[in-house]
């Protein structure tokens, strides 16, 4: 599942589908996913594209995202699948930047692997401490904020 960059054609299709849905079902502030087959000019054949439209009543706006996928999963679960993937990428980025898991100082593969494993262990221990020990206001913070507040 890959997020597509919106182009004018996709934006028109997304708005049309969203307005049709709102007209038929009302605007409840939830995410809705729609599927269609899209033949981009650079692709050899049409591919399954998912439109995830989310209305936030507080902002009075609609966020429309487009994904191309070959997953046979039901349309309703694809939006939440991508959000979970994005959350996992955030964890990976925190491990790389906050715990320096991306630094490879040695020419020896095993030394670099051990360093990365210690960084991952450090990250997991910190997350565990955040759940069990830290006050609620700091639990979801990134490691740089935790270091600043604790030190």
Query: Which tokens in the block code for residue 35?
Result: 């599927």
For 27-47, the pLDDT digits (tens) are: 555 667 778 787 878 888 888
Residues 6 or more apart in contact with residue 52 via CB below 8 angstroms: 31, 32, 33, 64, 65, 66, 67, 78, 79, 82
Mean pLDDT, range 71-78, rounded to an integer? 72
Whether the pLDDT of residue 24 is over 60: the answer is no
Residue identified by tokens 């507040």 is 149
Say how far apart CA 132 and CA 48 lie, in whole Å: 43
Residue identified by tokens 């990365």 is 116
Say how far apart CA 15 and CA 20 lie, in whole Å: 8
pLDDT at 110: 92
Question: Is 11 or 30 the better-scoring residue by pLDDT?
Answer: 11
For 13-22, the pLDDT digits (tens) are: 777 766 655 5
Query: Which tokens in the block code for residue 147?
Result: 């270091």
CB atoms within 10 A of CB 38: 18
Say how far apart CA 119 and CA 102 lie, in whole Å: 9
Least confident of 21-25, 38-42, 93-97: 21-25
Mean pLDDT, range 53-76, rounded to an integer? 74
CB atoms within 10 A of CB 6: 13
Residue identified by tokens 């502030």 is 29
pTM: 0.52
For 102-149, the pLDDT digits (tens) are: 888 888 999 988 988 898 898 888 888 888 988 888 888 888 888 787
DSSP secondary structure string for all residues of 52-81: EEEEETTTTEEEEEEEE------HHHHHHH
pLDDT at 68: 84
């Amino acid at each position: 599942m890959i997020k597509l960059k919106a182009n004018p054609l996709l934006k028109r299709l997304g708005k049309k589908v969203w307005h049709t849905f709102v007209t038929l079902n009302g605007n409840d502030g939830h995410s809705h996913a729609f599927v269609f087959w899209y033949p981009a000019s650079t692709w050899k054949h049409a591919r399954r594209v998912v439109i995830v439209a989310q209305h936030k009543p507080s902002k009075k706006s609609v966020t429309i995202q487009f994904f191309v996928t070959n997953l046979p999963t039901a349309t309703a679960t694809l939006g939440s699948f991508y959000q979970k993937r994005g959350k996992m990428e955030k964890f990976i980025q925190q491990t790389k930047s906050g715990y320096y898991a991306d630094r490879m100082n040695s020419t020896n593969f095993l030394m670099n692997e051990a360093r990365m494993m210690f960084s991952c262990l450090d990250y997991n221990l910190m997350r565990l401490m955040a759940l069990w020990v830290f006050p609620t206001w700091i639990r979801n913070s990134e490691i740089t904020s935790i270091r600043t507040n604790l030190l």
